[in-house]
Structure 1
Amino acid sequence: MTSDTDPTTDGGTTDPSAESPIDPADETPIETVDWDTLDDDGWSVPWRWLGLVASLGVVAVLYRRTQVTGTDLLLPWSPTNLTWAFRVSLVVLAFVGLPPLVRNRERTLRYWRRFRSNRFAVACLAYLVAFVVLALVGPAIAGRPRVNITDGFQPPVFTQVWYGRIATSCVGPVVGEGFPKHCVGTMQYPLGTTKLGQDMVSLLLSGMHVSLQVAVVATAFMVPIATTVGIVSGYVGGRVDTVLMRYVDIQQSVPALVVYIILVFLFGKSLFLLIAVFGLLNWGSIARLVRSEVLQRREEQYIEVARSAGVSRLTILRRHILPNVSNTVLVGATQKIPQLVLIETALTFIDLGDIGRRYVSFGETIREGFRGAYQNPPLEVWWIWILPVVVLATTIIAFGVVGDALRDVFDPRGEL
């Protein structure tokens, strides 16, 4: 009698619709990673980890050089410890996330074909790519936002403000006969300036850099913890599962905002403290998603075959379970990032976040737009707060759209 399942594959069941002319690679109801393609060939994995170690070594050398000379090769000012944590996080995420995409080109292209069918998601992804590039290189090119009181409240190009009442000096032409006269914006400050004369272009690039730091460093906190807890809890089960999930319940019942406020009073405000608190206390939902996925995967026949062949538990987790839950982790992290960016902006807006003198957060720029309301109503200096709000809102929406699109790409069951 012929069995309906093939243990040499991923435990899938023969689909009667397989004779359909539709490409089964794009219509498979359960997305399972072909773990045979992830086999260690004796070269790919060693070179991958050697590259990671070498890159971290380069970062360490640059860090030591900066400590000795006081100058940085990438920035015109001395970077903070958070900047170094950001660089380390970028290196780790790059070596962990990119090699599987390159090595498994066929699967990556299949995912891309599904993703690009959603044109709005593609546009949002293009925006996020541009956002990341500008956030990385923008501050180094534009420099820190500099204070220039004499150029305060310069309007954006093609707009004008009341000269003498709002802009006390005008870089561009002054138009109008008699009273009132108006100051016209120029390309010297294409997006205008703040009350202190800070260029809005530099402020927006700085805010984008802060948001990217929050996203990357918080992800570096959340993903390893959530993945480890979710995999161990789902695969081992029993008391281990009960204890870990009970801890997740307790952790999720503790408001991260309250913890952060308490720590601010104890240690003072800092962006790293904000990222650490919200990163370490917000991974529970991702761990639950991973656990749910592992509970399904551990009963599949290719896992049973591996156990029967005497494969160790650690090898099963590393080679068979982890590749199959990586999609879940990516989707969960993509949905968490906009929450953390919005939290950082809100806390900075109410003066509970401290970015420091090198960078300015979106929240700080938005607050600056309302701070002088007793002199100038916010609508008269609209560009100071509307521009960062637009960039922030667009970024959050883009992350949400891309996250939803990735969820549909990795789990096409919702389309059936």
Structure 2
Amino acid sequence: MDVKRKIDIVRVNPQDWPDGTPAWKEEDPDLGSAIIPAARYTSEAFMKLEWERMWTKAWLLGGRSDDMAEPGDYICTEIGKESVLIVRQADGSVRAFPNVCLHRGNRLRPEGRGNTERFQCMYHHWTYDLGGKICHIPDLGTFPQGAPPGAALPSYPAEEWGGFVWYSLNPDAGPLADYLEPMQRHLSPYHIERMAWVRDSTVEWDCNWKAAVDAFSEVYHVQGIHPQLQWYLDDTNCQIDLYGKHSRYLVPFATVSGRVALPSAIPPAIHDIMVKAGMDPADYEGRVSDIRLDVQKFKRKHGPDQGKDYSSLNDDQLTDDYHYSIFPNVSMNVHADDVMMFRMRPHATDPNKMLYDIWMFELIPEGEEWPERPRHRRFAHGDRSIGQVLDQDAFNLPTVQKGMQSDAFPGLWIGDQELRIRGFHKALTDYIYPDGQGASDL
């Protein structure tokens, strides 16, 4: 089977779509071919370096802006050993500070979201206003040293972009816009802020957080773990682009893989794509190889009547998966009608465990009422299904983690189809070994 069979993909030139998502191929950087040490995934020492030099320095995804629309709305999120409160202020801005009482260390709120006029520690009723300032200490006169320095919780940088709120544990993180560049231009045309929550889950996985990042950074594994996907996406015509510490791949949907024979009948998954677009597969008279382009034409023509504005998107975006990774731990399957967003969070102490957040959003036709926001669910791997494709990844990753601890496995042997993994480790190395010293010590 010729795995390089070409389908009709016309990537957009800058002059043809000047204000839309860039679709042209970026030049691949030369990142070498060295083994990526397995110790990066299993070593407690490396985990400590990640925390000290990367997690506490980078910008991180905190939550969705519409979860904190009103003054006093807050999101409490955890990263490693830290818990962070992100709070909507009376002037509409957002502020972030550690979720810890300065008296005896009690956490002020459990992980989740809510609304409050002030944060009161349930232990001794030390009370903080929405900006983290101490506004009441019972029996303050019994503290000869007075209130803690500054009489306020430390402040973390917090900003909003793209319908989401971001924070950093680094007081000197710099502007969020500089950190995200060029993701703003790539993602803004999708108008994710117009999409409603449809799923919010956290799953505990027995693997290192980077193993999960890797799994969603390449389609080389489709033929192995997800063979059913070959009947509605082409994993052999995947465009890979690196943008400094961020990256993406573009995968054609509503077509079949070059690894399988072209079917004479419409595969069930492509049938579903047509139905969701508003087409009737029973009336379709074209070839299976024509469906992708015909779905694009149909959505372009009928989108306005369906209350869906696709005017900022190019034709390929009406069918294809534009998959983005925002360093260090955000993975996004971005489509015209929905976004699947995943956040990989490290365990506080164990490099062999992680938290996997699943956030899904759907474009609601203009004028239609948004569905009720789903309740957040947290559970361990195996307690319930998270969908066939994600179940397959979740089943595989713990065995990957165990294998990485073998003395016979020195590290990752990365090919061209896994270029994003190499780019990710380059970005990680730049944080952990900024002077280039020690990068090969593991």
Task: Give the TM-score, by structure 2 length.
Answer: 0.23
Larger Rg: 1
Structure with the largest fraction of helix: 1
Structure with the largest fraction of strand: 2
Q: Considering Cα pairs closer than 8 Å and 6+ residues apart, tell me whether 1 or 2 has the greater RCO.
A: 2
Task: Give the TM-score, by structure 1 length.
Answer: 0.24
